[in-house]
Structures are given as structure tokens and as C-alpha cells.
Amino acid sequence: MNTYLSDYQLSIEKPTVFWEKQARNIDWFTFPKNILSPDHKGYPAWFEGGSLNMAYLCLDYHIENGRGNQPALIYDSPVTNTTLTYTYAELQDKVARFAGAMQKNGVQKGDRIVIYMPMIPEAVIAMLASARIGAIHSVVFGGFAPHELAIRIDDARPKLIISASCGIEFDRIIPYKPLLDQALEESAWKPQNVIFFQREIFRAEAGGELEIDFMDFMNQAEAVAPVPVEAWDPLYILYTSGTTGKPKGIVRDTGGYAVALKYSMDKVYNTKAGEVYWAASDIGWVVGHSYIVYGPLIQGCTTILFEGKPIRTPDAGTFWRVVSEHKVANLFTAPTAIRAIRKEDPDGEFIRKYNLSCLRNLFLAGERCDPPTLEWAQEQLNIPVLDHWWQTETGWAMVANMTGYELFPVKPGSASLPVCGYNIKILSEEGKELIPNQEGYITVKLPLPPGCLPTLWNEDRRFYESYLNQYPGYYLTGDGGYKDEEGYIFIMGRIDDVINVSGHRLSTGEMEEIVGGHDAVAECAVIGIEEKIKGQVPLGLVVLKSNVSVTEELLEKEIVALIRNKIGALASFRQVVVVKRLPKTRSGKILRKTMQKIADGVHYAIPSTIDDPVILTEIHDRLKERKIGNAFEY
């Protein structure tokens, strides 16, 4: 039996040997001629000459191997009180017919499709149908602001846009048609057609010469077979925020992605064909692409598509109800979700209401997992709780406790060890490799393993400028952190989340660990705000647990003492502000930069991805009340 250490060493020293072996675990139409070779711009790329089809791997392959009657997709929607199950055969039929409809309407291999939908089965059908005919899909988070949608439409130039009449946030219906209409009015590019799925809970008013009903569209055509595509052909474009304000279109190639996802389902998540896997995310994010749709279906698992929230749909027990009811073997979610549950149910009363004996592991990613949240989940669930780290750019985990090998001890605050294929180095600003426990820039020595981005959509130059030019021969992740003596990697946050206090570079992530460890704190964020003498000083914003009562004055005194004890007086940590909630994106990332701008009195735009803009006003008012910040007029 191979161990993690032996496989990791092989993957770094002989990557072509390692990844050729993994490539043989998927069903190619034509096996690759070259495992690793330079692409048109000289960048190392995987599986040249191989041909395959992602929808075939996700559906037809399993039907041919006797899994046609196995559930492929369970749609669980507490916001509509709906549960639906699709077998592999049923899902394949719908996907093949929708793919046929797209072909009939002129969509060809290489054409782009924008999918602007909520968490409903029709969104997954559209994604897989696009893959079936070799089209390139770009999923935009349902309900995204019209301006941001327009930017993505202009960049991707889709032949079709597929949308729905509405999404649902808790108990609030969000009509999509007005948002899409505004985006189309603003965008220079016009699609050939807009396909609308009408939801029973809210039907959009039909209109517009471009619009076609989703069901009419799907039922007008015959099912079609999968179209072979090259390994290097793009499967999708997924846009992520860029420092210039223009989003970066992350390109995902088909062959490397398929191999990486199959390997990760085996070795990172240790989930077997026939088991139930649940990534509690959204298809608008990379987690949804990799581990709601493609990864579990490539593996022959049953995947869960959940339309709801960790709380208030209807309560803090909804995750555990889904796990128990559908016999989930492995759950993957964001630390934000667990913090929200912990805040509402600090003693785990809802957890004990359900039989969770089926659940083997809880995987956390999407943001840094603070040790108090990790420890609370471990104590309440009594199973391994495993933080791991990856990015939209990589498409799958870079650092993880790989459960398909031997399980290593968990170190709170660490995402564990490098995943096979990722040669992770911690570099100084000058590019020198740092010794253990020295914090620096987290990089990956090239080549990146299969599945990672080969470029940005129509922006090769920006790809190099963003990721490769600062340290030639290395991929710059944009995150800072360190390795300890045993090789465990600690992610301390984005490079620009490091603050400079009187010349000392201090990690806000480290401070958040300490603040979050206070018994009264449910959630926290530490930001650096301007200070005339020191340059920046840290400010802690905290959300209290629902069952505690403490004055802000006393809490501030205690937390300041904790920081002084753990980091020292040089941190200049003196202020803590209690807030009702923290502003976040819909995927759960805390908007630290926006709060920093509020505190500094700098003009800011309301981020299009924010969950609730009202929170920003609440933060502003609290800081003004406390007279915190340099540029407020009091």
C-alpha cells in the first residue's frame, strides 16, 4: 500500500510517472500522447493529445458500468420544502436532451454559455449539457449584480444565457429577470437566445424576442451523444475578483481537471462510488463546480444539491438533518457555515437530535479556519474535522490531510500537508526559500499539477503578471504563511492582509486566532487601520455568542490582554468593537478590505458579492459611535 509520503515524493520528483498512473483511472476516448509538455506559450501543460468528454465520465460511463439506477443527484431545498432524486439514467436523459437542444440552436464546440441560476437541478443539467457538446460554460452566481453580470457577458461573449425566474434567500424571493434584463441592456454583447426556467414559487413575466422557455427548449430536441474534446480544451470559465477591478476569467482545461478530480475524490476525500457526498456550497463558486457537480459524479457518488442556508432554513439543525436523512459520508463546507451554526447552537443541541453515524469526516475550506471553530466542531461531532486550502485558480486542494492515505494528526490553525503534486515553497520578498516557522509568500514550484488553471480567458499576459512573473519558475498564490518543522502549512491570510505596525509585519490571521479563542466570541475579524505615527494599528471586530452577556469595555480589556500576552505590545492592539454581524460575500468570505476602507474614511464601492449591504452601514455607525478611524467627521 502506498503511503502519503512515498506518493508525495514520487509526484514531486517524477511528476510524469505519477500523473500517468492517475490518468489511467479515467476513461479516455484517446489516451494522451504526452503526459507533460509545453503549450503554445511555453507553459507546462498536461495530457497533450488526449481526448475525452466530461459529461460522459460523469454519466454515460457509470450507466455502462451498471449504475444507471443509482441516485446521482439529490436536490434538497428546505426553502421550497422540496426533495427530488435523479438516478444516473434520469440525469443523463435530461442532460443529453438539453445538449441536443443547444446543438439544434447552433451551439457548437468552443462556444460559450453563461449560466445565471439558483441552486436547482436545471443548473446542473445546463452545466453538464454544455460539457457534453464541448461548449464552454461560465456560471455566474444567481442574483449577482447586473453590472458585474454585464462585465462577464462582454468578456465571455456567450451564444446562450440560461437563467431562471428567481432565487430564494432565506424566505425572500429574488427575481432574476430584472437583473438579467439590466445586464443585457448594459452589455455590448448580445446572446443569440436567453433560456428561462420558470419556477413555480415565482414565475417571471415572459417577454422579449430572445427568450425561450427552458422546458420547451429541452423538449424540442433529441438526445445527443457526447462530443470528444481535447484534454487542453476549456471546460469552463469561472470569474474571480481581480486587483484591477476587472474580474479574472479562470480557465479550466478538461483533461487535467478530470484526472485531478478523480484523484482527489479517492485520496483527499476518500469517498467511494455509491457513497453520498455533500459539498454545501454553490455552483457559482469553484467548490460547486468541483465538488457538487464534476468530482462526485466522476467518482460515481451520489451528490447533494442543497438550496438553503446553515441557519434559518428553518434552523441551525438543517445541515445535520440533511446528513442524517440522506446518509452523507463526507461533508464539505466553509468555516463561516460552522461558525453560524455554532453561534445559534453553541451547545450542539440540534446536533444531538440527529443520527450522524454515517458521517466520517467534516472538511472545511474557502477561508482560514480559526482554531476555536475547528475545536468546537471536533468536540460536537466526534469525527475528524479537517481544514484544507485551495483556490479558484487551482480547482482542487493544495494543502490537505489526505484521508485516502493515512490520517495525520490535526494541528489547529494548519491546513495540514501539501497535496501530492504541489511542491509548496515559502519565499521571502527577495525570492529566498525560508526556514521553518518563518512567515513569507506561499508559492508552488512549477509545474503545477493537473487541474490548475492553464491561463486566464483571453489574457495570457495578465496570467503571467498575476501569478508567474514575481518569482520566475513559481506560481504565486497571493497568500502568506509558513511551514513548521514537520512540514505542516499554516495559511495566515492574503498577502495584503498583513499589516505593518511601526515596521513590524503582523498577520491579522494570527490575531484573529487569539481573538476568536475568547469564550464570548462567536466570530471575529481583525483589520489594519491607518494611524499617523505607527502607519497602521489593528482593530478587532467581534460578534458575540448568543448566550453570553459581557460589556464591550470588559471584553476589550480581556482581548487586548490576550493579544499582548501572545504577540506582545508591539502589536499595538488596543481596540475591540462589538458588532451584530460581519459583512460577507455570498460564499462566506468576510469583507475585511471594505471594513478597512470604512474605518479609514476612504471611499468604497459596495461589493457586488455582498450578502447584505445594510451591514456596512451598521459597521460605519458603530465605528463612528466609538470614534474609531482617522477620517470620520464626528
The CB density around residue 535, as the number of other CB atoms within 10 Å, is 15
Q: Is the pLDDT of residue 392 over 90?
A: yes
Q: Is the pLDDT of residue 631 over 70?
A: no
| % of the chain surpassing 70 pLDDT | 98
In angstroms, the CA 367 to CA 493 distance is 8
Whether residue 632 has pLDDT greater than 70 = no
Predicted pLDDT of residue 290:
98
In the chain, residues under CATH classification 3.30.300.30 are 502-625
What whole-number distance in Å separates Cα of residue 470 and Cα of residue 475? 9
Q: Look up the CATH architecture of domain 502-625.
A: 2-Layer Sandwich (3.30)
Q: pLDDT tens digits for 157-214? A: 999 999 999 999 888 999 999 999 999 999 999 999 999 999 999 999 877 778 999 9
Instruction: Provide, rounded to the nearest whole percent, the portion of the chain with pLDDT above 90.
Output: 83
Query: Residue 504 above 50 pLDDT?
Result: yes
Q: Give the pLDDT of residue 634.
A: 33
Q: Which residues contact 513 (CB under 8 A, 6 or more apart)?
A: 370, 371, 413
pLDDT tens digits, 514-544: 999 999 999 999 999 988 778 889 999 999 9
pLDDT digits (tens, 9 = 90+) for 508-522: 888 998 999 999 999
pLDDT at 245: 58
Whats the size of the chain, residue-wise?
634
What is the distance between the terminal CA atoms of the chain, rounded to a whole angstrom? 67
pTM above 0.75, yes or no: yes
Instruction: Say whether pLDDT at 503 is over 80.
Output: no
**Which residues, in sequence order, are CB contacts of 195 under 8 Å at separation 6+?**
160, 161, 162, 163, 211, 212, 213, 214, 217
Q: Is the pLDDT of residue 99 over 70?
A: yes
Q: What is the pLDDT of residue 633?
A: 43
Determine phi and psi for 629, rounding to 5 degrees.
115, 160
CB proximity list for 186: less than 8 A, separation 6 or greater: 146, 147, 150
The rounded distance, in Å, linking the Cα atoms of 411 and 345 is 25
User: Cell 481537471 sits at which residue?
Assistant: 257
What is the mean pLDDT of the segment spanning 408-430? Answer: 96
User: Dihedral of CA 340/345/349/350: which sign?
Assistant: negative
Instruction: Please list, in sequence order, all residues whose beta carbon lies within 8 angstroms of the beta carbon of residue 3, skipping any fewer than 6 positions away.
Output: 405, 406
pLDDT at 369: 87
Letter for the amino acid at 433? E
Note the pLDDT of residue 1. Answer: 56
The answer to whether 237 and 156 are in contact (CB under 8 A) is yes
Q: Calculate the average pLDDT of the chain.
A: 94
Number of H helices, E strands in the chain: 20, 31
Using CA atoms, how far residue 163 sits from 130, 461, 627, in Å, is: 14, 32, 46
Return the C-alpha cell found at 243: 486587483
Tell me which of 3.50.50.60, 2.60.40.10, 3.40.50.980, 3.40.50.620 is the CATH number of domain 86-227. Answer: 3.40.50.980
Calpha distance 392→453 (Å, rounded): 9
pLDDT at 368: 79
d(CA 95, CA 54): 12
Residue 77 vs residue 503, higher pLDDT? 77
CA pair distance 204, 173, nearest whole angstrom: 12
Q: Which three cell numbers stand for residue 56?
A: 460522459
CB 51 within 8 A of CB 57: no
Q: How confident is the model at residue 144 (pLDDT cuts 50, 70, 90)?
A: confident
| Per-residue pLDDT tens digits for 464-495 | 999 999 999 999 999 999 999 999 999 987 77
Identify the pLDDT of residue 579: 96
Q: Which of 70-74, 141-145, 622-626 has the lowest mean pLDDT?
A: 141-145
Among 471, 39, 73, 504, smallest CA distance to 283 is for 73
Q: Where in the chain is the domain with CATH 3.40.50.980?
A: 86-227
Q: List pLDDT tens digits, range 336-381.
A: 899 999 999 999 999 999 999 999 999 999 887 888 899 999 999 9
DSSP secondary structure letter of residue 585: B
